[in-house]
Structure 1
Amino acid sequence: MSGNEAERTTGEALAAGLAEAGTEVVFGIPGAHMYAFNDALAREAGRIRFIHTRHEQGAGYMAYGYARASGRPGVFTVVPGPGVLNAGAALSTAYAGGTPVLCVTGNIFSNLIGQGRGQLHELPDQLATLGSITRWAGRVEHASETGRMLGRAFGEMARGRGGPAAIEAPWDVMAAKGTVRGGYEAEAVLPPPLDEGQLARAAEMIAEAENPMIFVGFGAMGAGAEVLALARKLGAPVVAHRSGKGVIPEDDPLAVNMVAGYDLYRDCDLILGIGSRLELPFMRWQWKPEGVKVLRIDIDPTEAVRLKPDGFVLGDAGEACAALLGRVGEGPDRGAAIAAARAAAQEKIDGVQPQVGFLKAIRAALPRDGFFVEEISQVGFTARFAFPVYEPRTYVTSAYQENLGFGYNTALGVKVANPDRAVVAVTGDGGFLFGAQEMATAAQHGIGVVVVVFDNGAFGNVLRDQDTMYEGRRLGAELGNPDFVAMAKSFGLHAERADTPEALEAALKAALDRDEPALICVKQERGSDGSPWPLLMPPPHGEGPKKGYF
């Protein structure tokens, strides 16, 4: 063997390759199919930290939180079959959010795959299952393939809009030795070059517009400075829904929340979407002002097909905005109109109580660069327009998957990636019990997330819809809950009640100062939350209110 060759098992090659790729943490649960990989990870303890969770879904969400908050790939490992399926919600969330998450798993013995023998953890076609919720999934058939397969996985996670990948190895292959040349064969991933014709068309459209409006999504998260420079030159407001929150600081005069954006939208003559699916105008507001044109900047060429614009620039958001900056002229000063819309929006927002009062308390306690992890709940929904965000990546969301059980588990991964920064998760009582067992993970590994559980004894949206749309026929919406404070203390967390915004702010400040795992329970009367949906899903201008919220 040459100097860069070695005899390794596939498990050893996978562990070494992950370390060579820069992986610092792997989340997961060990199991029989994965023992060769698990043991190799144990021997890589000097380079890779292993955080074991109490549920496969928790491992996947923690990897997602790690990646979403840091921009670095999040890696988790689970057993095949039920382990993969349990983690499937996290992988589908990473797919929705364009977030680099790698699942490393096993499979049954190679000679039994596809035979339907009922081997332990067998799925009819696990690779196809993984392929349906990732950007790429591959099977390692021999240890010598490992470096190339890892390179492909990391390349796919980084290419274009990004997203999850998966690697599986059959049980026998995972433990079999082979000659391995290196552990990780990196693929070069470059953004597509900007097209001069597309830039010229974009500049022409901008020059023709009097009231352009910029919509940003997660694809613009690394381009905040360029987006803001372009917005200032055009005098254009910048609006984000959830995934784009933090692209520019929301206390900048040109930043508008979705409520203010809705009012400004009626006079818009150019929609400029930057790294955004344009969910607000086309899915939530569901209308276009007469004559408005659509210009999109996106690194994913398929976005030009999914929602066909009048102009499209393929490329990196930052590079495209910087290129346009020298091609467009100064726009009119719209500062007064934007400021008026911001003030009018705040009046409307302040009427959504008690959620807004609690969100203001959280914002007051959380440092400017602290992380806020939402989950679908009355407070989580309201946060999308009522919680200001000042730094990139600090507002962590499940994108369009809207998963119950997402918030707390994801927040643990956020904290692992950012141990010196504050992390707060908000969740409802229903969602929290999807993943409450991960309090054990937080306590055992010292992960100092503070979770605020709003206990209103209900699946709040379901309860409201059943009462207002289905004549009060309630089915499965009312919840009987444990004592969350006592429950958290039994796991070893600091826990307390705080039922007013003032009490919550004080408790949260103290918990963040301690920087240890903690739970704060806010007890509320069932059905007492004001509805955020008139602001999240307003009717097209001039029409009556919508029914429901989809």
Structure 2
Amino acid sequence: MKTVGETLIDLLEVNDVDVVFGIPGVHTVELYRGLSGSKIRHITPRHEQGAGFMADGYARVSGKPGVCLVITGPGLTNIITPMAQAYQDSVPMLVISGVNARATLGHGRGRLHELPDQRGMMATLALMSHTLHNPDDLADVMERAFAILRSGRPGPVHIEIPTDVMALPVAPPRLQMARPGRPRAEAQMIADAASLCLAAKKPAILVGGGAVAAAKDILALAERLDAPLVTTTNARGAFAHHPLSVPASPSLKSVRELVAEADLVLAFGTQMGQTDYDMYVDNNFPALKNLVRIDIDAGQLARGPLAALSLLSSAENAAADLLAAIGTGNSRQGNGAGRAEAGRAAALAELTPKMRAEIAVLDTIRDTLAGTIIVGDSTQAVYAGNLYYEAGRPHGWFNAATGYGALGYGPPAAIGAAIADPKAPVICLTGDGGFQFTLAEIGAAKDAGTRVIFLVWNNDGYQEIESYMVECGIAPEGVKPTPPDFLKIAEAFGLPARRLSDVAELPVALEAFRDLAGPSLIEIHQTKTAGATA
């Protein structure tokens, strides 16, 4: 018979896991026993926070859960921040940790890496947290974990295995992939929604990150209804450059006016939360006429805003069902392309010249590197892109400046994205302040041979916070952390690097680094690089 650790690897393989992120330790070595003989690739970050963010980026691009192996105690507490980010952004992540031997749990006798109640702590932010006391329960627990990850609203799941259980023998379990169950709205609810669609003269559609997998059917529905498609940050690129696409934030006045004027708004897979719909916290997002919400999470539907109709369904099922219910001969004429074009122009005009210059840099990246994925950290160019940027592909734009908003997300998440899609150009757009949170992960990118281009947007500190303090009449303090010489950091890790004197040099630099076998670095300085600001 195999051990629990060996069987765990078998169960990961049968559930289509091809990569795990983790740092081995004494408290997890038995989980690694079967890894070298498996088809699963192991990626070693420099910090467990990096493991979690890599798993996040991997999951967003691959569509599969990101899996991490971490030690008990500090390994697990280090990964809490990425788990919270995954919870807020509905990203499937499986964290498998060690925990001290069963007989020691709860006694508080100062064991190495001991926590008072590790599972209880994780239960506050995981969709499921389970301690494996009985080896024979392993297959059932793993099946339940993957069913949760694939069935409802995704998020982090945690399984902990006591150190004295990891090496125990376990009877050969059934090796079968967990089967997801995706909710589907009742036929009458779909019929009611279809009736509203057919009656609408000026419909609009809101699309969130939870609906990207349904983009093809949602686009067909939009074309049939002649409805502009407003995409939130995590849905950008789902309808790249389509005449109905409005790649602009619902926090902008012009986009709010577009949806407020609609006589029907379909909202697919979007939380309609503050970081997308009320970024400036002005509480002015309008009440919508005939709002129809489609969400996989009943709790989210209950949180509001108030809808005329709420459909508990996956976006894929709802879009397909609505298309079938509306039929092919009922195309509407609502000047959707004209309304979308006016919305795009008004949204862009609403931004400052500085923001437009930053968006122009994003456009240059997209147009230079076809199929590129831009993974952002919290930095000013990313904030501008969240307000307005049309990615060139689905999952071609995501960052931590939504939801939980963790600094240091970009570098490791970009590594995860590059592992998920090794053929795609991947840009990590990070500020000099945020980069220093996870700077060491350059080494992980080098080890893994990922073709990530780290694009550092350097403004010598936390300029966004400094500007906010000034606006609030507060003397700036703590906003000038000295950045390192990033080119020397790159040299230390063996990365080719270039500092731009003019933004016009960016296409040449991108082309030069595009086909390298590993990572590289480009620096744009906000005041020293010509063209970085208007």
Q: Which segment is superposed worse, 331-340 or 492-501? A: 331-340
Alignment of 1:417-436 (within 5 A): 417-436=420-439
Residue 20 in 1 paired to residue 14 in 2? yes
Q: 1:253 aligns to what?
A: 243
Aligned with residue 451 of structure 2, among 443, 448, 451: 448
In 2, Cα distance between equivalents of 1:137 and 1:56: 18
Q: 2:141 aligns to what?
A: 149
Alignment of 1:126-145 (within 5 A): 126-145=118-137
Per-residue CA deviations over 1:386-420 (Å, capped at 9, x if unaligned) read: 33113222222334111100001100011011111
Alignment of 1:167-316 (within 5 A): 167-182=159-174, 184-249=175-240, 251-258=241-248, 259=252, 261-279=255-273, 280-281=276-277, 286-287=283-284, 289=286, 292-307=289-304, 308-316=306-314
Residue 70 in 1 paired to residue 62 in 2? yes
TM-score (norm 1): 0.89
Query: Alignment length, in residue pairs?
Result: 520
In 1, Cα distance between equivalents of 2:476 and 2:268: 42
The 3 A distance-change label for structure 1 pair 330 and 103 is same
In 2, Cα distance between equivalents of 1:199 and 1:176: 51
C-alpha contact 1:353 1:530 (8 A) present in aligned 2: no
The 3 A distance-change label for structure 1 pair 116 and 357 is same
Q: Which segment is superposed worse, 117-126 or 195-204? A: 195-204
Say which SS state the counterpart of residue 123 (structure 2) adopts: helix
Q: Which amino acid aligns with 1:239?
A: V
C-alpha contact 1:449 1:515 (8 A) present in aligned 2: no
C-alpha contact 2:132 2:138 (8 A) present in aligned 1: yes
Q: Which amino acid aligns with 1:310?
A: A
Aligned with residue 472 of structure 2, among 469, 483, 488: 469
Aligned-pair distance for 1:457?
0.9
The 3 A distance-change label for structure 1 pair 305 and 506 is same
Residue 121 in 1 paired to residue 113 in 2? yes
Alignment of 1:21-170 (within 5 A): 21-44=15-38, 47-170=39-162
Residue 522 in 1 paired to residue 512 in 2? no
In 2, Cα distance between equivalents of 1:456 and 1:243: 26
Q: Which segment is superposed worse, 118-127 or 173-182? A: 173-182
The 3 A distance-change label for structure 1 pair 244 and 318 is same
Aligned-pair distance for 1:78?
1.0
Q: 1:8 aligns to what?
A: 2
Say which SS state the counterpart of residue 455 (structure 2) adopts: strand
Q: Which amino acid aligns with 2:210?
A: G
In 2, Cα distance between equivalents of 1:16 and 1:326: 41
Q: 2:333 aligns to what?
A: 332
Per-residue CA deviations over 1:52-71 (Å, capped at 9, x if unaligned) read: 11111111111111111010
In 1, Cα distance between equivalents of 2:266 and 2:533: 30
Aligned-pair distance for 1:531?
11
Residue 356 in 1 paired to residue 347 in 2? no
The 3 A distance-change label for structure 1 pair 523 and 469 is same
C-alpha contact 1:454 1:521 (8 A) present in aligned 2: yes
Per-residue CA deviations over 1:277-325 (Å, capped at 9, x if unaligned) read: 1234567673455672321111212222111421011212122122222
In 2, Cα distance between equivalents of 1:281 and 1:67: 24
Q: Percent identity?
A: 32
Say which SS state the counterpart of residue 116 (structure 1) adopts: coil
Aligned-pair distance for 1:529?
11
Residue 506 in 1 paired to residue 503 in 2? no
C-alpha contact 2:14 2:177 (8 A) present in aligned 1: no
- Structure 2 gap ranges (5+): none
Q: Which amino acid aligns with 1:197?
A: Q
In 1, Cα distance between equivalents of 2:285 and 2:498: 48
Aligned-pair distance for 1:185?
4.9
Aligned with residue 415 of structure 2, among 400, 404, 412: 412
The 3 A distance-change label for structure 1 pair 61 and 145 is same
Per-residue CA deviations over 1:480-509 (Å, capped at 9, x if unaligned) read: 111001111101111110142211222112
Say which SS state the counterpart of residue 218 (structure 2) adopts: helix
